[in-house]
Amino acid sequence: MNSNIVASLWFDHRARQAVDFYLDVFPDSAETHLARYPEQGLPAFQEDFAGDILEIGFRIDDFEFTAINAGPEFTINPSISFMLNFDPSRDANAREHLDATWSRLIDEGSALMDLGSYD
C-alpha cells in the first residue's frame, strides 16, 4: 500500500547522511529518487546549494518520505511522530528486530517516550 501523504523531513545540509542512516537501519527500505538544485540561477540565499542535492525520496516498507536538503530555517522537533509496528504474528523475531532497531535509533539520540508497553 503506497501512502497518499509523503512525509517531508527538513535537514540542514545533511539530507544525504540522514537518508543513508535510515536506509541502513531499516531492512525493507530503498531510495526512490534524487533531485538536485540547478547549477545556476538560484537566489543569493541558495547559491551555496548549486548542484547539491535538493531532495531524496525514500521508502521504509510501504511508507514514503522525502528528505529536503536545505538550510537552518527549520529544525527537527517532536511535533510529529512515526510509529513502527513489530508484529509477532507477521515476524517470529519481532522482539529481536524491535530491540535492534531501537538500539540503532537511540544511539547518540534521546527518547521522548521510552520503549515499553502502554495501555
Considering the domain 1-70, what is its CATH architecture?
A: 2-Layer Sandwich (3.30)
pTM (2 decimals)?
0.86
- Reference 51, options 64, 41, 66; nearest CA is 41
12 contacts 72 by C-beta, under 8 angstroms: yes
Condensed to tens digits (0 to 9), the pLDDT of residues 3-35 reads 588 999 999 999 999 999 999 999 889 999 999
